[in-house]
Amino acid sequence: MTTAHRFPDAGTEPAPLPGGPPAPREGVPSTARETLEAARHLLEPALRDRVNTLPAPLAGIASYHFGWTDAAGRPDAGPTGKALRPALVTGCAEAVGGSAPDAVAPAVAVELVHNFSLLHDDILDGDTTRRHRATAWAVFGSPAALLTGDALLALASRVLAEDDSPHVATGIRWLARSTELLIEGERADISFEERERVTLAECLAMAERKTAELLACSCALGALWGGAEPERIAALRAFGRHLGTAFQLTDDLLGIWGDPAVTGKPARADLACRKKSLPVVAAMESETPAGRRLARRYGPTTDGAAEETPGELALLARLVEEAGGREWARRRASEELDRALVALEAAEPEPDAGRRLSALARLACRRDR
């Protein structure tokens, strides 16, 4: 028997929302923002259209999760996701000479798989806010949110199967396999919370499954739909994989030092729940005095963030930094981004599409995204 893991109830009060969506930031390369915007513009009508084919109650909960409706089902314009994965699909389709609109089915499918995993992760992690709003389970209860996640996963296969591309069966194989690995990454991530010690290698392997795998698959699906040869698909898959690891490292840095107004999550949320994220594990494995002090204080919590003082969280963050965890994560993210860009180059992308993918990759790894 494992130790008990308590699922959250809808009765739990969600944490206060950390203010509205972020204001536009200066200095971010406009190419990347425009690329994301264009992908979102292409994605969103198709995504809404497909989600609305789900049985009505499930479609309603999904619409809330995606930010299209409020908790009462009224139209809303909540901040939607960044659509990074769909942008990688359409960008990679264009990079190999295909067209973005022709790759909208895999773009929708990867976004559905991503959101299936968010709905389940929020339940498993007990997270009460996402994208500056209460999470679906906090509004509709864990069972309804869990089942809505299930429905998005089933829908992802259907969206691919309904496309008229000759690559449907291959695409479904790849997406299903990546989803299985993503699920195993989530399982490992949760199991780490119960373990005293996790090695950096284990933690990197977990991040590769949980995050990098679906980004790699997004790139591969885009290239496949765009008609690329296997070598080019492999190069773009490698681009997505390295980018995914860089992205997760960046996310882990934001989980400790991110601005709640930008991330949409409470400050130092990852420390409050004792998440064994990459900077934390790097610090604990550093064999420094600060790392050892961190390891002693980083035992499993019973009640999570609720009872943690801001002072204690600030101390934990300082210990991660002093032990070199922050610097290691920054350096490793930068190295992974470099590897991603090398792989992108190897795919010999169409010049414009290559520039857009490169800008997108740099944006995804910015610590103020």
Q: Which residues bind a second copy (CB under 8 A)?
A: 1-7, 9-12, 54-55, 57-58, 116, 120, 123-124, 139-144, 146-147, 149-151, 153-155, 157-158, 160-162, 168-170, 172-173, 175-177, 179-181, 183-184, 186-188, 190-191, 209
User: What is the smallest separation between the CB atom of 127 and a second copy, expressed in angstroms?
Assistant: 14
User: What is the smallest separation between the CB atom of 119 and a second copy, expressed in angstroms?
Assistant: 11
Cβ closest to a second copy, residue 94 vs residue 127: 127
Rounded to 10 deg, the angle between the 310-322 and 230-257 helix axes is 130
Please count the other Cβ atoms lying within 10 Å of the Cβ belonging to residue 246. 26
Residue type, 111: E
Hunting for tokens 């396999």 — which residue is that?
A: 177
User: What is the smallest separation between the CB atom of 122 and a second copy, expressed in angstroms?
Assistant: 12
User: What is the smallest separation between the CB atom of 125 and a second copy, expressed in angstroms?
Assistant: 9
User: What is the smallest separation between the CB atom of 168 and a second copy, expressed in angstroms?
Assistant: 5
Cβ closest to a second copy, residue 125 vs residue 285: 125
Q: How far apart are CA 24 and CA 137, in angstroms?
A: 29
Residue 274 near residue 301 (C-beta atoms within 8 A): yes
Record the tokens describing residue 364, joined without a space. Answer: 């995804």
Record the tokens describing residue 135, joined without a space. Answer: 């999470």
User: What is the smallest separation between the CB atom of 367 and a second copy, expressed in angstroms?
Assistant: 30
Residue 221 near residue 88 (C-beta atoms within 8 A): no
Cβ closest to a second copy, residue 155 vs residue 280: 155
Cβ closest to a second copy, residue 139 vs residue 316: 139
- The CA-based dihedral angle spanning residues 44, 47, 52, 53, taken in that order and rounded to the nearest 10 degrees: 150
Closest CA to 251 of 117, 366, 357: 366
Cβ closest to a second copy, residue 68 vs residue 140: 140
Per 3-state DSSP, the chain is made up of helix, strand and coil in percentages (nearest 5) of 70, 0, 30
Q: How far apart are CA 58 and CA 48, in angstroms?
A: 13
Cβ closest to a second copy, residue 180 vs residue 368: 180
User: What is the smallest separation between the CB atom of 179 and a second copy, expressed in angstroms?
Assistant: 4
Cβ closest to a second copy, residue 95 vs residue 212: 212
Q: How far apart are CA 253 and CA 325, in angstroms?
A: 9
Q: How far apart are CA 26 and CA 28, in angstroms?
A: 6
